A and B are shown apart, each in its own frame.
Chain A
Amino acid sequence: MNKEPVLVARPALLRQTNAQLLLRLLRESGPCSKADLVRASGLSAPTVTNVVGHLASVGLIEPVGEGDSTGGRPPDIIRFRAERGCVAGVEIGSDALLFLLTNLDGHELARANVSIARNTSKPHAICSQIAKELRNLTRKQKYAEEQLLGVVMGVPSIVNVDEGTVLALSALKSWNKVPLGSMLTRELKCQVTVDNDTNLAALGEYNHGAAQGESNFVFITIGEGVGAGIFLDGKIYRGSQWSAGEIGYLRVPHIAREHPTIREYGKLEKILGAPGILRSWRAASRHSRSKPKATRPADVFDLAIEGNASAKKILLNRATILSDIILDLALILNPSLILLGGEVGGNPRLLQEVKALLKGSEFAIARVLPGALGPSAVLWGAAHLAMESALLSLLQPPD
Chain B
Amino acid sequence: MPKNSGSRQSNSHMPSYVVAVDIGGTNLRVALANRHGKMLAKWSGSVGSDSSPKAVVQVIRGAVGYLLTEVGASLHSLSGVAAGAPGVTDRKAGVVFATSYLRGWKKVPLAALLQSALHIPAAVENDVKLAAIGESWLGAARGVQNFVFLAIGTGIAAGVVVNGQLLNGPQCIAGEVGYLIVPGTPESPVGRASPGSLETVIGGEGIRQHWRQVCKNGRGDLTATEIFALAKNGDRLAKNVLERSARILAYAIHNMSTVLNSSLFVLGGGVGTNNALLMATRRILQPYSQPSRPRLIRSALGADAQLIGAIRLALDTAESRAISKGL
Contacts and interface: CB of A to CB of B under 8 A. Distances in A.
A and B: interacting chains: yes
A256 B183 contact: yes
B312 interface: yes
A34 to B, nearest CB: 36
Nearest to B169: A334
Contact of B166 (A1, A257, A330, A364): A1
Contacts of B256: 332
A247 B190 CA distance: 23
Contact of B261 (A241, A258, A328, A333): A241
Contacts of A347: none
Most chain B beta carbons < 10 A, residue from A238, A245, A332:
A332
Interface stretch (B48-56, B99-107, B170-178): B170-178
The range of chain B's interface size is 35 or more
Given A241-B263, A241-B292, A256 B172 contact: no
A147 to B, nearest CB: 35
A2 B189 CA distance: 47
Contact of B259 (A2, A266, A332, A364): A332
Contacts of B77: none
A244 B259 contact: yes
Nearest to A268: B258
Given A256-B183, A327-B181, A241 B173 contact: no
Interface in A326-348: 327-336
B195 interface: yes
Interface stretch (B114-122, B156-164, B237-245): B156-164
27 contacts: A1-B133, A1-B136, A1-B137, A1-B316, A244-B261, A245-B259, A247-B258, A251-B186, A253-B181, A253-B182, A254-B195, A256-B190, A257-B191, A260-B190, A327-B180, A328-B180, A328-B255, A328-B259, A331-B175, A331-B179, A332-B160, A332-B177, A332-B180, A333-B174, A334-B171, A334-B172, A363-B171
Interface of A: 1-3, 158, 216, 228, 230, 232-233, 237-247, 249-251, 253-254, 256-258, 260, 265-266, 324, 327-336, 362-364
A-B pairs, 3 with minimum CB distance: A334-B169, A239-B261, A243-B291
Interface of B: 133, 136-137, 145-146, 158, 160, 162-177, 179-183, 186, 189-191, 193, 195, 251, 254-256, 258-263, 288, 290-292, 312, 316
